Every structure is written in structure tokens, then in C-alpha cells.
Amino acid sequence: MHSATFGKGKRYGILGYLPEQGSKEAELYALNASTSPLLLLPPEIRNKIYALLLAHRRIHVLHAPRAHPPKFHCLTLRASANPWTHKRRHVLSKGMTLLAGVCRQLYRETDLIPYRECVWSWGSVAVMERFLVAERRLGWVQRRVLREYTSVQLETDD
């Protein structure tokens, strides 16, 4: 996690702050914004692309207690998939998108989309409690925009 510092050339957090003018990061930010084919598109078109790539999915969080050290991992599933009985064809990816790690501007534009536009589920109530409460894996901003989640499989008469 990045520290929140105000020192010259340092970041103040990672959410929503531009690099300091004249810094190497500011030069890279300007270069990306002026040369990237994606970042040269109008914001409305970029937002539609982001929605196609990142929204309307199901993020299913699992815990691997036998891994050393124990760890969480997630599957990105099609929106129609039941997270507790999904088949291989429903899995879109293992993990979340790496798009936000490409550059600071993409991070700023896409960082909250998976939390705001996807349905989240956990393998069990205990996994959800450990993920959200005990280990605080989501920051305050991500928890605040999380709109829809499920934690247990519901019994249905099909």
C-alpha cells in the first residue's frame, strides 16, 4: 500500500491524484495521454469500452486456506452464472482485470468500475466476513461503491 505523503516528488495516496508538475511521473502521464490510441479517444467512447470490458460481470471471491500463506483469489464470471455451481464456460478470467495497472490515467478512469458495476459473491459467509471485516481487503472507497453482493447460495425449486 502506498503511503500518504506530501513530500516533493512523492504521491499523496494512489486514488485520484495527479503527479507533481515537473516530475518524471508527470512527464510520463503527459506522454501516455498524448500518444496512447485508447487515451486519445473521447471520454464517452472510452467509458463505453470500459463498460464492455469491466462491467456486468460476477466477481466470486474464494479463499485457499491450505495455500502457504493462505490467500484469497477471485473468478470473474459471466453475469448469468450461478457462482456456486458455475461451469468452466462461465469463467471469463481468474482474477480481476489488469487494465488498471497499465498507467495512472487508466487507473483513475477504471478503478471503481468492478466494485460499482459488478455483482460480488463469496464462497461462504465466513469468507465474506474474513475478506471484508477481518482482513479489510477492500478499501473504504471500494466498500462504499459496492452495490450488489451475495454471500450464500439460495435454495431454489427448479
The pTM of this model reads: 0.69
Cβ burial, residue 113 (10 Å; 0-12/13-18/19+): buried
Digit-by-digit pLDDT tens for the chain (158 residues) are: 333 444 444 444 444 566 778 888 888 888 888 888 988 999 899 999 988 888 888 999 989 888 888 889 898 888 888 888 888 888 888 877 767 777 878 888 888 888 888 889 998 888 988 988 888 888 888 888 887 676 555 444 44
Its domain, for residue 25, covers 1-35
Q: Which residues contact 44 (CB under 8 A, 6 or more apart)?
A: none
Total tally of structural domains belonging to the chain: 2
- In a domain? residue 156: no
For residue 47, tell me if it sits in a domain.
yes
Same-domain status, 124 and 141 = yes
Residues 105, 127: one domain?
Answer: yes
**Sign of the alpha-carbon torsion through 45, 89, 116, 73:** negative
Cβ density class 39-52: b for 16+ within 10 Å, e for less:
beeeeeebeeebee
* 155 falls within a domain: no
Who contacts 63 (Cβ-Cβ below 8 Å, separation ≥6)? Answer: 70, 71, 72, 73, 123, 127, 130, 131
Say yes or no: 51 and 119 in one domain: yes
Do residues 18 and 6 make contact, with C-beta atoms less than 8 angstroms apart?
no
Residues 56 and 5 placed together within one structural domain of the fold: no
| Number of residues assigned to the chain | 158
